[in-house]
Amino acid sequence: MSLYAQRGVSAQKEEVHAAIQNLDQGLYPNAFCKLYADFLGKQSDHINIMHADGAGTKSILAYIYWKETGDASVWKGIAQDAIAMNLDDLLCVGIYDQILFSSTIDRNKLVITGEVLSEVINGTQDFFNTLKSFGVNIEFLGGETADVGDVVRTIAVNGTMTARWPKSKLITNDLIAPGQVIVGFSSHGKATYENEYNSGLGSNGLTSARHDVLSKEYAQKYPETFEPTLPEQVVYLGKNKVLDKLAIPGFGEVPVGKLLLSPTRTYAPLVKAILTQHFDAVKGMIHCSGGGQTKCMKYLPGNMRIVKDQFMETPPIFKLIQENSGANAREMYQVFNMGHRLEIFTEASSAEAFIQIAKGFNIDAQIIGKVEVCDKKELVLQGSFGTEIFNY
């Protein structure tokens, strides 16, 4: 059993998928988000969507960093995480504007102060203001903030997004087909709309990242940051402290805690530009979130082989996690995005246009793979780590 599973989490969410397998899959079963008929507007050419996600256990990292440094500004990043994990899922069905957002914050008031709440709530609005400057309009409708110390040890930050969108502007993944290529968009670096270097970690695999990278010292100092029934051998196994420095080419030395807490990059400005200029060329879109580089396999419209054999250079944060954990490549690529968190399926002739648009936002992009004919659904990952094959 992997360390990830021993900590009570699953990259593939098998039990969740089993629990929901009998639910209605919506109008477009292969779409990245569930889409329904237009209940709100009663128009047959529109859909409705309501989508929920959150920052996950990344808030525990923020808690440790805040306690160690007194820097409450890191909580603004947690607000961005909860938004981007929702928004970038919606992007993958073509929705990038006229969105409503409601937040849900559950806290243990004994350890999470009003200052933290203020940073999260105001950070939410600040991020929406930034997105608005790129034509991505999201209205903040407030939400629920509850003091539930008997339920959460520190804080949980989540949110829900709602939108109404024309069917003619949807990306449903039904057009993914053999012969196409996959363009990957880097999750790290510093996009034109980001204020500092982004490690690319996002908001998935943070339970593993936290326990594998950080020192056992934090288990003793902050027992509220982990499930007390976990065996000691899976709790805070790493060699690093949050203020240890890691050299990042082109950006100097950055604290490990800041790398782990890099706010999840949203691709909204980039995706809006691509969809407004080249909508018909986009055949499918995948947010490499939970499930990492295997995520795409859930949304294929039929049997085919996905080959990813031109990965970008692995960002330093993932190398650090793997060095600390000793995890093999198969587990790393199942849990983490490993360098690109957005994929667009398209014809080879359209790929360069997408790459150039990304370059305008200072986001690296390249063809990372292709779609081949196959009599089953199969994923092949190839790189310096060797070859890993997944059958579905």
Most distant CA atoms of the chain, gap in Å: 58
> What does the mean pLDDT of the chain come to?
95
Is the confidence at residue 313, as pLDDT, over 80?
yes
- Is the pLDDT at 108 greater than 90, yes or no? yes
Would you state the pLDDT for residue 12? 56
Collapsed DSSP state (helix, strand, coil) of residue 304: strand
Instruction: Provide the b/e sequence for 180-212 (b: ≥16 CB within 10 Å).
Output: bbbbbbbbbbebebbeebbbbbbbbbbbbbbbb
Task: Over range 208-223, report the average pLDDT.
Answer: 96
Mean local confidence (pLDDT), 173-194: 98
pLDDT at residue 117 is higher than 70: yes
Residues 212 and 323 in one domain: no
Asked if residue 390 has pLDDT above 90, the reply is: yes
Both 44 and 62 in a single domain?
A: yes
Q: What is the rounded distance in angstroms from the CA atom of residue 297 to the CA atom of residue 295?
A: 6
The C-alpha atoms of residue 204 and residue 264 are separated, in whole angstroms, by: 9
Joined together, the tokens standing for residue 32 give 């990245």
Residues 270 and 248 both lie in one domain: no
Q: Are residues 211 and 357 in the same domain?
A: no
Domain that residue 219 falls in:
206-260
Q: Which of 18-27, 186-195, 263-272, 294-303 has the lowest mean pLDDT?
A: 18-27
Encode pLDDT of 9-53 as tens digits.
Answer: 655 556 765 766 667 889 999 999 999 999 999 999 999 999 999
**Inter-residue contact 196 to 190 (CB < 8 Å):** yes
Give the pLDDT score at 2. 61
Crossing angle for the helix pair 268-278 and 348-360, nearest 10 degrees?
Answer: 140
333-349: pLDDT as tens digits = 999 999 999 999 999 99
C-beta of residue 267 within 8 angstroms of C-beta of residue 139? no
CATH number of residue 180's parent domain: 3.30.1330.10
- 58 with 143, same domain: the answer is yes
